[in-house]
Amino acid sequence: MKSLAVLFSALVAASALAGCSSYRPTPAAFHEVLDQPYRLGAGDRIRVTVFEQEGLTNTYSVDQSGYISFPLVGAVPARGHTAQQLEAEIAAKLRQGYLRDPDVSIEMDRYRPIFVMGEVGAAGQYSYVPGLTVQKSIAIAGGFSARANQESADITRDINGKVMTGRVRTSDPLMPGDTVYVRERLF
């Protein structure tokens, strides 16, 4: 009987250690990117205003290739650019024989969606809004399931073209395009 209790406690300890072996601390770049200007990506929709040019002012979506299709100048690379960089790029292209001194302004119309998976009520794709945290995204996805680990979640994020995953607290902020995975608790 005593050996059975020892065997059981050894199995519990081994499974707890096995669960910890997949843990990776959050990379430093994970939180540093939160303080940098937002970079556009596929699925974002922007509102481009070219002052005194109503025919060019419109909303444009960043396609899967990372471009927007802009009148007169064609495809303009947008993925990885900030709004200010894209304003300068469009203005430079319009200066090449189309407009003398274009005044271009860009604002976000709709951010790319986030995804919430794992131990939540309704896993799926959801709209991103500024100020969204892990906890708020879980609430949008129907809350925690009965088996959910409510202390932390895994976030997968594209940082400068490199996909990274890290474990964060539920109070951490999200970025457009993030994937939230809520793990099952051990006990």
- β partners of residue 126: 114
Strand, helix or coil at 171?
A: coil
Residue predicted with more confidence, 123 or 187 = 123
CATH class given for the domain over 25-36+112-182: alpha beta
Beta strands 74-77 and 67-70 are: antiparallel
CATH class given for the domain over 45-110: alpha beta
The 10s digit of each residue's pLDDT in 146-174 is 999 999 999 999 887 889 999 999 999 99
The 10s digit of each residue's pLDDT in 83-113 is 999 999 999 999 998 999 999 999 999 999 9
Q: Per-domain residue ranges for the chain?
A: 25-36+112-182, 45-110
